[in-house]
């Protein structure tokens, strides 16, 4: 599960340097909205493929904005019914079998890749409501 969290770090650095509190508030709102929208997207793919939620692994990147937002992000996931387990526990799920069993040939390793391999349409991805490239330039 990913929502391009890395894309917010550079604009956050620019806006922080300028002290643009309003723009930082826009970043915070957009960041949480992107995460929330992708929860629905990944759950839809998982339920299409497996009829259930898999134990998702959240891909995040190291950055100042990610650190700033982490408590609110974790609260969002909890409010959407997620609990947190170890990577080892998640890897016990059949979805991760090809990644963890070196005796098997490599296969699709993301929900998007499994959907493509099965010729299933991907759920629509919502566009970012703000332009991260131009914010605080």
pLDDT digits (tens, 9 = 90+) for 62-96: 899 999 999 999 999 999 999 999 989 998 998 88
Q: Which residue has 């009829």 as its token pair? A: 51
For residues 4-12, give the mean pLDDT: 95
Residue 99 binned pLDDT confidence (cut-offs 50, 70, 90): confident
Statement: residue 101 has pLDDT above 80: no
Per DSSP, helices labelled H in the chain are 9-18, 21-50, 64-79, 87-90, 97-100, 111-117
**pLDDT computed for residue 14 by the predictor:** 96
Q: For the whole model, what pTM was predicted? A: 0.88
What percent of the chain lies above the pLDDT cut of 90?
Answer: 77
């Amino acid at each position: 599960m990913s929502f391009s969290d890395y894309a917010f770090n550079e604009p956050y650095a620019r806006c922080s340097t300028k002290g643009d509190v309003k723009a930082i508030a826009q970043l915070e709102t957009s960041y949480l909205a992107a995460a929330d929208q992708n929860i629905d997207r990944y759950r839809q793919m998982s339920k299409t493929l497996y009829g259930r939620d898999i134990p998702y692994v959240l891909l995040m990147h190291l950055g100042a904005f990610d650190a700033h937002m982490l408590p609110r992000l974790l609260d969002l996931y909890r409010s959407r019914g997620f609990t947190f387990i170890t990577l080892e526990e998640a890897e016990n799920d059949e979805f991760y079998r090809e990644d963890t069993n070196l005796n098997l040939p490599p296969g699709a390793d993301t929900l998007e890749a499994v959907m493509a391999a099965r010729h299933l349409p991907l759920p629509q991805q919502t566009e970012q409501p703000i332009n991260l490239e131009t914010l605080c330039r």
